[in-house]
Structure 1
Amino acid sequence: MEVAGYLASLFIGISLGLIGGGGSVLTVPILVYFFRVEPVLATAYSLFIVGSTSAVGALQKWAKQEINFKVAITFGLPSLITVYWIRKFLIPSIPDVVYQHNDFIIQKGLLTLVLFAILMIAAAIGILKPQEISRPVLPQTQGLVLLGVVVGVVSGLLGAGGGFIIIPALIFYASLDIKTAVGSSLLIIALNSLVGFAGDIFHHPIDWIRLLSITALGISGTFLGNWLSGRLPASRIKKIFGWFLLLTGLFILGKELLF
């Protein structure tokens, strides 16, 4: 299973290189089901893997001048503060048994996986449905700050980068073209994830050899993803990835709740 897990780790970077997001929602299931990492620890590992992989992807986009640093800072700063606070203070305070009534028990690990599956399904629906361009309901700065906090909550609680929220936000609120939105998204995800991991580092034992091995494969995948992005139709990539997320999310829900 670990060999399959290492192969699957390539797709973390491929996804980030192709569409500027999605890698984070693959990382936790790969860690849990292929490497048998406990779910809450998997969210911490995910932050490091996705953060490092996104940082390399962002450098590649920066070389192509496809990052808007002003917008990235406006969106990223409130997100950074939120994700660090959640990983440093909120996550350690959540008990292992979140709810219990007689024989019905909800553990922190189970809740994490169920919420993650819901996140995957929501992301899949957002990717698969036809995109409708709508006018922002808030001024640019307010909208970016508010959505930055939302992404911080998602990253902090579930170890996900939130690229499926970031990219539409940057397009609609900051009027960025898709390539600049993808590059800016990678920078925001990298900063969010690594700052979130910094809040975790003293709360969990870290298997650095395994973590760095998976990260190295994810980084390798970004180069392949960038190469493929110029050769495959974006609409086909998004559709395949959307269906993959949907089926994976349904699988996790079924496995954790029904079997």
Structure 2
Amino acid sequence: MATFIIAALVGIVVGLLSGLLGIGGGTIMVPLFRLAFGLDPIQATATSLFTIIPTSVSGLVKHARNKTSLPRVGLLCGLAGACLSPVGVWAATKSPGWAIMGATALVVAYSSITMFRKALAAPKKGEQEKKKEVPETQGRQEGFPSIKLTPAYCAKVALIGVVAGLLSGYVGVGGGFIMVPLFMTLLSIPMRLASGTSLIAVCILSVPGTIEQALLGNIHFLLGIAMAAGSIPGAFVGASMVKKVPERTLRFVFAGFLLVMALVLVANELGLIG
């Protein structure tokens, strides 16, 4: 019971970051499941993937109500990622634990550096209202110019989904930590819309990998359910905060969060933690 309560409380923090930053929360849950709850690497990644789905759905509902997501972009990205997620799971079952954690740390660190650069280049609060970035067609209701989902644009979206899907299955994360920076860099989607759009894709691409991990018996369902009990309301609250937090601040928070997670993973694999 104590473990269940602790996991639920941690889940609230995971959910807040998920809804606010557009991540499934796996980059927090994988290290926590391994370091705090003693799961082995494959169990940690599998349980994280299982928990990501309800967490992401909760944040997505709020983003949909606030119109801070681009459904068509998220849907296309998610479907492309869902095709490759099982491949990532298969690769993880064939890899040593240090390789899984090492791959996670490298990708997270790269995403952090990319986001820091975007944050430094972002307009400050007073300038932000005058200079808005460009997403897809429904952006008109948010005050953004409309663009067409051309074949080239869709190809970029699908490519992002494929990369996120592979990483999702391999390291047990939703892929939001890589999708959000790529949405901003390659598709010019602003952070507020990138977060909600990412959660749409995460909800979809996490499903096949989760099913595969469940069939392999790698998911610790009790811990996953406990974490979800806290992350579901947390994600709802986090998503409601998106419009209230300045774009530049969101980017810095996201970048800092990613950097800390990368360092934690590296320290753990070097035996400096736990």
Q: Note the alpha carbon deviations across 1:69-100, whole angstroms, 9 max, x for none.
A: 3322322222111002332x4333x1xxx5xx
Residue in structure 2 matched with residue 113 of structure 1 by the alignment? 101
> What does the per-residue CA deviation read over 1:94-138, in whole Å, with 9 as the maximum and x for residues that have no partner?
1xxx5xxxxxxxxx12222222222332222122223569xxxx9
Please report the TM-score for the alignment, with normalisation by the length of structure 1: 0.81
Contact 1:39 1:109 in 2 (8 A): yes
Q: Distance in 1 between matches of 2:268 and 2:92?
A: 24
Q: 1:55, CA displacement in angstroms?
A: 1.2
Residue 4 of structure 1 and its aligned partner are, at CA, apart by: 5.4
Matches within 5 A, 1:66-105: 66-87=68-89, 89-92=90-93, 94=94
Q: Residue 37 of structure 2: SS of its match in structure 1? A: coil
1:46–1:235 distance in 2 versus 1, CA, 3 Å? same
Structure 2 equivalent of residue 160 of structure 1: 173
Q: 1:181 aligns with which of 187, 194, 198?
A: 194
Unaligned 5+ residue runs, structure 1? 99-107
Note the C-alpha offset of 1:212.
0.6
Superposed displacement of residue 204, structure 1? 1.8
* Residue identity matched to 1:185: S
Does structure 2 conserve the Cα–Cα contact (< 8 Å) formed by 1:51 and 1:192? no
Q: Which amino acid aligns with 1:42?
A: A
Summarize the Cα distance change of 1:171–1:114 in structure 2 as closer, same or farther, 3 Å threshold.
closer
Deviation string 1:196-222 (CA, Å, 9 cap, x unpaired) is 101111112543222111111111211
Partner of residue 47, structure 1: 49
Cα distance, 1:175 vs. partner?
Answer: 5.4
One-letter identity of the residue aligned with 1:64 = N
Matched, 1:58 2:60: yes
How far did residue 142 of structure 1 move? 1.8
Letter in 2 for 1:27: M
Q: 2:235 aligns with which of 211, 222, 227?
A: 222
1:61 Cα offset (Å): 1.7
RMSD: 2.8
More divergent stretch after superposition (20-29 vs 45-54): 20-29
> How far apart, in 1, do the equivalents of 2:266 and 2:38 lie?
17
Separation of aligned partners in 2, 1:16 and 1:24: 9
Q: Give distance in 1, aligned partners of 2:101 and 2:87.
A: 21
Q: Is the 8 A contact 1:121 1:249 kept in 2?
A: yes
The amino acid of 2:264's aligned partner reads F
Cα deviations across residues 146-204 of structure 1 (Å, max 9, x unaligned)?
Answer: 22211111111111222233234444555545433322211100111122101111112
Match of 2:217 in 1: 204
Distance 1:128 1:178 in 2: 13
Alignment check: 8 A CA contact 2:78 2:161 kept = yes
Give 1:33 deviation, angstroms. Answer: 0.9
TM-score, scaled to structure 2: 0.77
- Aligned residue in 1 for 2:265: 252
Matched with 1:103 is: none
CA offset at residue 5 of structure 1? 4.8
* Aligned length, in residue pairs: 243
